[in-house]
Chains A and B, each alone.
Chain A
Amino acid sequence: MARKTKTKTKPGAKHAPVKSKTPAADPLDAYIAAAAKAFDLPVTAQYRPGVKMNLVVTLRMASIVAAFPLPDEAEPAPVFRA
């Protein structure tokens, strides 16, 4: 899952972006806030750094798996038998 690189604004940098005196918002923060609301999960300010840290690692794992090409016909490991 590709994410935009965070824009960093160095204090005193000569060519700092005009509009962003604060760092650009990380889309993952927005995702966590939206998912917390949608799933009714209590992600408080206290929990947020830990949740984000774990989600970053988990999504990195997801991108490792996603980078491996598999045919459309590939079956998932658990197969339901009626």
Chain B
Amino acid sequence: MDTNWSSAADIAAAVTAGRSSASDVIEATLAQIKTRNRVLNAFTAVLADRARERAAAIDRDPSRAGPLAGVPFAVKNLFDVAGLRTLAGSKINRKRPKAKLDQPLIERLEAAGAILVGALNMGEYAYDFTGENVHDGPSRNPHDRKRMSGGSSGGSGSAVGGGLVPLALGSDTNGSIRVPASLCGIFGLKPTYGRLTRARSFPFVDSLDHLGPFARSVTDLATAYDAMQGYDGGEDAACVDRPAEPVASALGQGIDGLRFAVAGGFFRKGLSPEAQEATERVAKALGASREIELPEIGRARAAAYLITASEGGALHLDRLRKQAADFDPAVRDRLIAGAMVPASAVIAAQKFRRWYRAQVLEIFKDVDVIIAPSTPCVAPLLGQENFMLDGVEVPVRANLGIYTQPISFIGLPVAAVPVPLKPMPIGVQIIAAPWREDVALRVAYSLEQMGVASAPRPAA
């Protein structure tokens, strides 16, 4: 078995059937990380001992290990991992006490047989779309090491797209799963706001934070998602008390009867030829001829921006007072500015959010899926500060997520699918109504079956 590019499903099948041992999978994974991470800089901690112990336990009775038996995975370093300090990409958090428990989604994946092998690089405090990190260095794009992985879950994109692990977890406040999935050419799922528990993860913007998985196939994405669903007993105030709604077994139901629309207007402006090509390929494959304009989308983006700046500034206020020099300067200045935003502006943004949600829910009465680009362009070069958007030069850090931000603003579920353009891939958002991850993932699966969406393997 080629562990470096095997799907989680293939690994689990081989381990469960005794064709491969979990220990062999883990040794191959650790060897791959040792070699490739020097280039990709995706990992900030490798948990070799823990992973070996867990693999040995699975090998004692692999047939009972679960649907992710022996599958290696890694998590963005804002997830609590017992025995590690939860860095959230920062220097400041290196002085925090070590976490005592794993984040619950790690516990749930491990209960399904998966094996945590490490923690992943990310933009500082998740306020980032680039994947660059001033303390740990940038995680690199597996398709071109001179390019960005995308942020803020850059290590997650780099590790999965680069074949270090078949599965990773990240967070998405304004696009931090969908942007690296796009730039690194992999699948990502940003579930409905409140679906997956965020307990024991380092927050950024409580109003907008989501956690979710990355993988190279839709089946893997759905299997991981199924294993992570379910109420957490109230540990995360936003996690909804809702029964698990498994989707993996329903992926093959197809797309007959689904009503598709392509997001126009705002989402057409500033598109690079690659983003346009990818969106058109997906729309054509799904037979989506209708175009809709989401209402006041630019204002939705502005409101998400305001809530992010303000809640982020409030979260870090005390650290800004005492340890300003220890922040990444780019993050620090944004957070200080956020702390100075008047409350009236933030309350107006939250009022607008409810209005906008009602308008978009109306649209979902006669549309099941909205198709939109994930990013305006393919991965920019590392260190690149600006790019052209609709004829205007704008900062990369704040604008790579311009198409993701108005969607997560109201918590809609999105399957981000990679379109394998050459030389660099780019992603498309498959957006569904709240709680309809099943629809988004079914569509993603159909696109994968049609060969329109796939995670391209990087040249060695």
Contact = CB atoms under 8 A, between A and B. Distances in A.
A78 to B, nearest CB: 6
Nearest to A57: B398
Contacts of A74: 351, 354-355
B53 interface: no
Contacts of A58: 305-306, 309, 337-338, 341
Interface string A21-42: 0000000000110011001111
B281 interface: no
A81 B177 CA distance: 30
A55 B345 CA distance: 12
B351 A41 contact: no
Interface string B321-334: 10010000110111
B402 to A, nearest CB: 12
A50 B329 CA distance: 8
A62 B296 CA distance: 14
A78 B333 contact: no
B264 interface: no
Interface residues of A, number: 33
Nearest to A74: B351
Contacts of A16: none
B348 A35 contact: no
A65 B349 contact: yes
B348 A65 contact: yes
Nearest to B350: A76
B178 interface: no
Nearest to B307: A77
B302 interface: yes
A66 B421 CA distance: 40
A35 B334 CA distance: 15
Contacts of A55: 337, 340-341
Interface in B329-376: 329-330, 332-334, 336-342, 345, 347-355, 357
Given A55-B337, A70-B355, A76-B347, 13 more contacts: A35-B339, A39-B340, A41-B324, A42-B320, A42-B321, A51-B336, A52-B337, A54-B337, A61-B306, A62-B349, A70-B348, A77-B207, A78-B207
10 contacts: A41-B320, A47-B324, A50-B334, A54-B334, A58-B341, A60-B302, A62-B349, A65-B302, A68-B299, A76-B354
